[in-house]
Amino acid sequence: MLCLNCNAKKNRVSVIIGCVALLLIAGTACGNNKNETPAVTETVETTAATMTTAAETTTTTAETTTEAETTTTTETTTTAAETTKKKKETTTTAKSEEVPLGKLNALEQALSYLEYSSFSYTSLVEQLEFHGYSHDEAVYGADNCGADWREQALKSSKSYLDTSSFSYTSLVEQLEFSGFTHDEAVYGADNCGADWNEQAAKQAQSYLDTMSFSKQELIEQLEFGGFTAEQAAYGASAVGY
């Protein structure tokens, strides 16, 4: 009997211990669940905040894009308007500066003359008038042909020297007679590259080809033609005196 009671007591103790153990396990589980709940809540809140930020970013980007497109459209429209305005201004200017056909033809004719010959400003105007252009048309052609009149004087100098002999002085006078200014004529004579002694010799021979001269008469004739005493003496010597 005593042993049976002992066993019964032992069984009760075991049951009590088991219950306590179950209560402890249950309490721990509840504690864990309580600790995990805030973490889940925090995760949800963070996700919601992230989505809100993303939405705000998208809205800002959309607004920025819209503003950029509006600015670009406005600038493009302004540029197009300015271009159109400039074209209108250019057209208006061109119409207001229309040149009469007679003047345009005189200019073309002047350019054509200068392609095969040399002219002074005055001689070019006279040439155009000779071909029937009015004075105003001829002046327009000479004014706008772009000629360098000093270079034209130089070309005329070389052309004269190809066909005849000249002293420096007589060449300047010939250029002035052809309508070049004194400065233009001097430029032509200074830069034509002539050997004035050789020009005197050629002129001396030309005189002798037409008539007889003594040495003194020949020298005097050369000096009269604008050669210096030294050049004249060289010319007379070159032809045999």
What are the pLDDT digits (tens) for 44-70?
A: 344 334 434 434 544 444 454 444 444
Asked whether residue 235 is assigned to any structural domain, the reply reads yes
Q: What is the mean pLDDT of residues 86-101?
A: 54
Give the pLDDT band (50/70/90) at residue 226. very high
Q: In this predicted structure, what is the pLDDT of residue 97?
A: 67
Query: Are residue 202 and residue 241 in the same domain, yes or no?
Result: yes
Task: For residue 18, give the amino acid letter.
Answer: G
How many domains are there within the chain? Answer: 3
Burial profile 119-147: b = 16 or more Cβ within 10 angstroms, e = fewer? bbbebbbebbbeeebeeebbbbbbeebeb
Asked whether residue 162 is assigned to any structural domain, the reply reads yes
Residues in the chain, total: 241
Higher-scoring residue by pLDDT: 17, 218: 218
Query: Are residue 238 and residue 223 in the same domain, yes or no?
Result: yes
Q: How many CA atoms lie within 13 A of 233 on its CB side?
A: 3
What phi and psi values does residue 113 have, to the nearest 5 degrees?
A: -60, -45
Range of the domain at 225: 196-241
Asked whether residue 214 is assigned to any structural domain, the reply reads yes
Asked whether residue 82 is assigned to any structural domain, the reply reads no
Q: What is the mean pLDDT of residues 105-128?
A: 97
- CATH number of the domain within which 109 lies: 1.10.10
Asked whether residue 227 is assigned to any structural domain, the reply reads yes
Asked whether residue 177 is assigned to any structural domain, the reply reads yes
Residues of the chain above pLDDT 90, percent: 60
Q: In this predicted structure, what is the pLDDT of residue 106?
A: 98
Instruction: Average the pLDDT over each of 77-86, 155-164, 178-187, 202-211 and give the range with the smallest value.
Output: 77-86
Query: Are residue 200 and residue 172 in the same domain, yes or no?
Result: no
Asked whether residue 3 is assigned to any structural domain, the reply reads no
List pLDDT tens digits, range 30-41. 444 444 433 433
Q: In this predicted structure, what is the pLDDT of residue 18?
A: 52
Residues of the chain above pLDDT 70, percent: 60
Give the pLDDT band (50/70/90) at residue 164. very high
Q: What average pLDDT does the chain have? A: 76
Contact 171, 188 (CB under 8 A): yes
Q: In this predicted structure, what is the pLDDT of residue 83?
A: 38
Q: What pTM was estimated for this model as a whole?
A: 0.60
Cα separation, 169 vs 217, in Å, equals: 20
∠ Cα 189 200 166 (to 5°): 35
Q: In this predicted structure, what is the pLDDT of residue 89?
A: 45
Query: Are residue 143 and residue 101 in the same domain, yes or no?
Result: yes
Asked whether residue 241 is assigned to any structural domain, the reply reads yes
Of 114, 147, 180, which residue is a domain's last? 147
Higher-scoring residue by pLDDT: 136, 12: 136
Query: Are residue 153 and residue 186 in the same domain, yes or no?
Result: yes
